[in-house]
């Protein structure tokens, strides 16, 4: 199983970006999909998550600005980021809980995509 993330880049404050992360390989089921981020010198933190039933949760600092969604047919999770702020600058990582065998699901991570917001 591999996760391929895309959509990062450089944007001015107040702008928007949309991240995508597609899973490929021998996939039986995908459960929770999520986005994390890690800024320089800081720990990785959860940004947003969405369960396979569509329940979402967000970090307090992105509520009302970011929207997570998923396309189960494409094994893809999206993160629409609006009203971006310089403090959103970080490497963003996607995470998916995937059952690839008959055993329990495992966490898979994408490589990370850089988001830079200039002031």
Distance CA 4, CA 16 (A): 20
Sorted by sequence, the CB contacts under 8 Å of residue 43 that are 6+ apart come out as: none
Among residues 17, 28, 23, 29, which one has the least CA distance to residue 4? 23
Q: How large a percentage of the chain has pLDDT more than 90?
A: 96
Would you say 34 and 50 are in contact if contact means Cβ atoms under 8 Å apart? Answer: yes
**CB-count burial class (<10 Å; 0-12, 13-18, 19+) for 48:** buried
Q: What is the pLDDT of residues 35-74, one digit of tens each?
A: 999 999 999 999 999 999 999 999 999 999 999 999 999 9
Sorted by sequence, the CB contacts under 8 Å of residue 35 that are 6+ apart come out as: 19, 21, 46, 47, 48, 49, 68, 77, 79, 92, 93, 94, 95
Distance CA 11, CA 118 (A): 6
Query: Would you place residue 103 in the very low, low, confident or very high pLDDT band (cuts 50, 70, 90)?
Result: confident
């Amino acid at each position: 199983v591999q996760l391929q993330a895309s959509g990062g880049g450089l944007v001015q404050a107040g702008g928007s970006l949309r991240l995508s992360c597609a899973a490929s390989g021998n996939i039986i089921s995908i459960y929770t999909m999520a986005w994390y981020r890690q800024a320089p010198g800081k720990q990785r933190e959860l940004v947003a998550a969405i369960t396979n039933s569509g329940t979402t949760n967000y970090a307090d600092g992105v509520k009302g600005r970011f929207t997570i969604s998923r396309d189960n047919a494409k094994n893809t999770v999206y993160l629409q980021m609006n009203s971006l702020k310089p403090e959103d600058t970080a490497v963003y990582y996607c995470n998916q809980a995937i059952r690839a065998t008959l055993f329990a699901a495992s966490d898979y991570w994408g490589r990370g995509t850089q988001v830079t917001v200039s002031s």
